[in-house]
Amino acid sequence: MWQVAVVWLLVCAGCSGGSGPSESPQEDTYTIRALAVFYGEFSGEHGGRTPKSEAEFREFLATRRERLEAGGMDVDRLLTSPRSGAPWVIVCGLPRPLLISGSTIVAYEKSAVDGRRAGVNIRGGLESIEDAKLQAAGLVAP
């Protein structure tokens, strides 16, 4: 049943398939939600752990290519922040998902602006994450 929901979500997205910032907030919302869904699927299929690397997550996404294409999306588009146009940093190499302020974070922006980064939570929402919290988790250098 969840596969049907994800395909429906991706089909409704109507993504253009390019990389870089999009011009549609609705498209951004669906892409971010899809990233969270696929990350959750990875974790669920791998005993609750995060991907060992972005390469491992990309390999996993390659097995979902049909579902991505059904939504007019590709892996690069899925892994790109719509706000900055830069690739998301996927949370990898942890024995279990990253919790920050009560939210499970699956990806965050590479660069901070005013000490904060946009992040994607497991529910497909955006979070504003203090850089200090990512530093405390050992994910970014001080």
Give the residue extent of every domain in the chain: 2-136
Q: Which residues, in sequence order, are CB contacts of 125 under 8 Å at separation 6+?
A: 32, 36, 103
pTM of the model: 0.80
DSSP H/E element including 41: helix 25-45
How confident is the model over 71-127, as pLDDT tens digits? 889 999 999 998 889 999 999 998 888 899 899 999 999 988 899 999 999 999 999
Least Cα distance to 18 among 61, 59, 76 occurs for 76
Q: Report the distance separating Cα 107 and Cα 81, nearest Å.
A: 9
Residue 15: is its pLDDT beyond 90? no
Task: Find how far residue 106's CA is from the centre of its chain.
Answer: 6
User: Two tokens at 79?
Assistant: 């892994």
Q: Report the distance separating Cα 54 and Cα 33, nearest Å.
A: 18
Task: Find how far residue 101's CA is from the centre of its chain.
Answer: 18
How confident is the model over 50-87, as pLDDT tens digits? 999 999 999 999 999 999 999 889 999 999 998 889 99
